[in-house]
Amino acid sequence: MRNNPLTKAHTTERAARRFGVRMTGPTLAVLLVMTAYPLLFTLFYSFTDYNLLKNLQKPASFIALGNYTRLLKDAYFRQAILNTVKFTILAVIFEMLIGFLTALLVNSLARGQKVMRTLLLLPYLLPTVTVALSWRMMLSPNYGIVNQVLETLGLPVFNWFSDMRTAFGMLLLIDIWQSAPFVFLLLYAALQSVPLSQYEAARIDGANAVKSLFYITIPNIKNSLALCALLRTIDSFRLFDKVNLLTGGGPANTTSTITQYLYSYGIKSLDFGFGSAGAIVMTVLVLLLSSLYIKRAMG
């Protein structure tokens, strides 16, 4: 008796579905353990007064929205939010602009693209700690090469990371220097997928380079542009290592970010309930920003 082809198809589909579940099951389990559990743990303790030292003798108490109220009333936290938003906006704008222009330039080269790609990616490949310490040495007020050059030229010198006029700008400059190559890499890869026939057709129709850029290049890579902006926004919003190594949030809280604030007032003091509330607030802010990007890209 022959098997019904429809029955065979259903059997094959069920087998494929079971195989997919078996293959993705371990990964999903790891993701649940590594992401869902810490998130629920953080959310729960954000409603308590959990402090590692104080709660060695007694359990943490439920204080409802006490930590969130304390956060919103703290002028330092509000300043940290403003600093983070300001840094994120400026960093994403400049990194996207520099990365995009660099990708266009390298993509237009007839020769030497491989060499240029390698050289341009070097800053992004360096560990953040190495980048921060290298810049701290170059900008040192005592022996830094930047101040020595400025002094030789008769120009004013600065204590770059302790001066309110320069600290924030230096952090922004260092982050752009390290992260713009990431944008370049993604956009350069996107440019490789733009059909050359479209440029040829535009050239025949008399379109110049500017029109080709706005009517061919950008529309073809708009999804990659949105993805780059989203990834850089998330990464810039959680900036910590450069701030912690170079300024510690100073001077006068002008470079303090949300993560630096949580480290200084939550983690270092072992006030995990307060720190958890701050982490939840930061997560919500990142989700709101991300949703705007995603909605814009899908629209």
| Each residue's pLDDT tens digit, 82-122 | 999 999 999 999 999 999 999 999 988 878 888 888 888 88
The answer to whether position 79 is within a domain reads yes
**Residue 95 placed within a domain:** yes
Q: Is residue 37 part of a domain?
A: no
Residue 135 located in a structural domain: yes
- Residues 175-211 have pLDDT tens digits of 999 999 999 999 998 988 888 888 888 888 787 888 8
Res 264: pLDDT: 84
pLDDT confidence bin for 250, thresholds 50/70/90 = confident
**Is 199 a domain residue?**
yes
Picking from 1-10, 119-128, 268-277, which range would have the lowest pLDDT averaged per residue?
1-10
**Looking at residues 137-155, what average pLDDT do you find?**
87
pLDDT at 181: 93
Token digits for 173?
A: 């400059």
Quick: pLDDT tens for 64-85. Answer: 888 899 888 888 888 999 999 9
Q: What is the mean pLDDT of the chain?
A: 84
Which structural domain, as residue segments, surrounds residue 168? 70-298
Number of domains in the chain: 1
Work out the pLDDT band at 299, boundaries 50, 70, 90: low
54 assigned to some structural domain: no
Q: What pLDDT score was predicted for residue 6?
A: 58
Domain at 182, CATH number: 1.10.3720.10
Q: Confirm whether pTM is higher than 0.85.
A: no
Does any domain span residue 28? no
User: What tens digit of pLDDT does each residue of 226-249 get?
Assistant: 888 888 988 888 888 899 888 888
Between residues 10 and 36, which one has the greater pLDDT? 36
For residue range 255-280, what is the model confidence (pLDDT) as tens digits?
899 889 888 887 787 888 888 888 88
Q: What average pLDDT score do residues 147-163 get?
A: 87
Measured over the CA atoms of residue 254, residue 248, residue 245 and residue 282, the dihedral's sign is negative
pLDDT at 1: 44
Residue 13 inside a domain? The answer is no
